[in-house]
Amino acid sequence: MSVASPCINICHMSPDTGWCEGCQRNIDEITRWSRASDADRHQILLAVADRRELLGLAPLAQSEGARV
Amino acid sequence: MSAALHFPASLQVFERGWLSANNILLTDGDEATLIDSGYFSHAGQTVELVRVGLDGRKLRRLINTHSHSDHIGGNAALQRSFGCSITIPAGMADAVANWDEDALLLRTAAQKCERFAATSLLQGGDRFVAGELEWQAIAVPGHDMDALAYYNVERRILISGDALWRDGFGILFAEVLGSGDGLGEARRTLEAIGRLAVDAVIPGHGAPFSDFDEALERAFARLRAFEDDGARMARNAIRACVTFALLDARRMSLDELPQYLAETPLYREANARFLGLGVDALADWLISDLERAGVAHREGTELVAS
């Protein structure tokens, strides 16, 4: 299984950081996610982890988002 | 499964979550077509994603797979931002024109959507070109009785909406509500798309996938389970719709949950037709079920999305 999207369904871009308020990806990272290689996705997730730490947020769970 | 399926450069998928359906941007020279627009409360991000994906092109047309709030919620905002036309499945024309909140399931499932006006219609068998590919509209009733999927025969790509996911399909609303033969239509739809040659599916939710045959097997297995056990189908529908509502609101009052379940038509009908539980028992089952699934947890007097 490929690297799952970190989307947690809080899909608003923060005007302060330029990152999504849910998953902390920037708009370019969200746009290219579905054609990104696994290596690129891991890089994005590392950046997300750094940004969440900077913002004082808990790490995102490594599982897929909530399933409807 | 490889990390990302290879689509032509003229086809971009914006993989969203469960509250917003995926968006598919198809480019033809300096113009573009978008399929599905996500949920109302995410419309700002949808507009930004599309703006980046357009890269200076003009969004000429927006096409929907079906009329549910997680697929049409950004229609109005996209039209305002880009001046695009809006094409919808012909079967939903009256519901949109009259903004029939029951037919659009907005009142039925207590969901929000900004009103828009459609500019043209598509029906099963119609063809159009987008992303330098010719797409055929295929009627895929079941989850939504008027839904369309879009199929490109050369690249063997199926844009399936909520008729087929990698693991299942969308709630069979008509069956749950007692307004139509959702199970029978879903079976005929799966049989019909199962006859197509498909190398890649772009579903309404979740990542694009290539294991089409396995996905069909899983969908048929789920359908059989629902055919055998209506209560299972009803519980699944209630769980999915409350999860959707929780993803939107993020938290709900535990005290108000029984009343919400009693007053929202989808929950009321699903319970009355298949479960026959008292409303407090229904709420208790739901809370423990969502907690067990890791979807939500109790925080004081509230149920909070996890």
- Whether ipTM tops 0.85, in short, is yes
Chain B residues within an 8 Å CB radius of A20: 45
Residue spans of the domains in chain B: they are 11-228, 230-305
Residue bearing the bigger pLDDT, A20 or B2? A20
Q: Pick from B1, B7, B294: which is nearest to A1 by CB?
A: B1
Backbone phi, psi, residue B291, to 5°:
-65, -45
| CATH label, B11-228, candidates 3.60.15.10, 2.60.40.3620, 3.90.650.10, 1.20.1530.20 | 3.60.15.10
Say if residue A68's pLDDT is above 70.
no
CA diameter of chain B: 58
Taking CA–CA distances from B210, the nearest residue in chain A reads A1
Distance from CA of B196 to the nearest CA of A (A): 24
Taking CA–CA distances from A27, the nearest residue in chain B reads B49
Chain A residues within an 8 Å CB radius of B49: 27, 30-31
* Number of other residues whose CB lies within 10 A of the CB of residue B156: 15
What average pLDDT does this structure show over B114-143? 98
Say if residue B119's pLDDT is above 60.
yes
Distance from CA of B282 to the nearest CA of A (A): 19
Backbone phi, psi, residue B31, to 5°:
-125, 165
Band (A55; pLDDT cuts 50, 70, 90): very high
> Does B3 sit within 8 Å of A5, measured CB to CB?
no
Cβ contact B166:B211 at 8 Å = yes
> Does A3 sit within 8 Å of B45, measured CB to CB?
no
Q: Pick from B3, B7, B240: which is nearest to A68 by CB?
A: B240
Per-residue pLDDT tens digits for B37-96: 999 999 999 999 999 999 999 999 999 999 999 999 999 999 999 999 999 999 999 999
Nearest to B167 by CA among B131, B218, B113, B129: B218
Direct distance between the N- and C-terminal alpha carbons of chain A, in angstroms, rounded to an integer:
19
DSSP per-residue letters across B110-178: T---------EEE-TT-EEEETTEEEEEEE--SSSTT-EEEEETTTTEEEEETS-BTTB----HHHHHT
Within the 46-65 window of chain A, which residues sit less than 8 Å (CB to CB) from chain B? 63, 65
Say if residue B3's pLDDT is above 90.
no
Say if residue B189's pLDDT is above 50.
yes
Sheet with B11-14, side-by-side order of all strands: B11-14, B23-28, B31-35, B58-63, B85-89, B120-122
Judge residue A16's burial from the number of C-beta atoms within 10 Å of its C-beta, 0-12 exposed, 13-18 middle, 19 or more buried. exposed
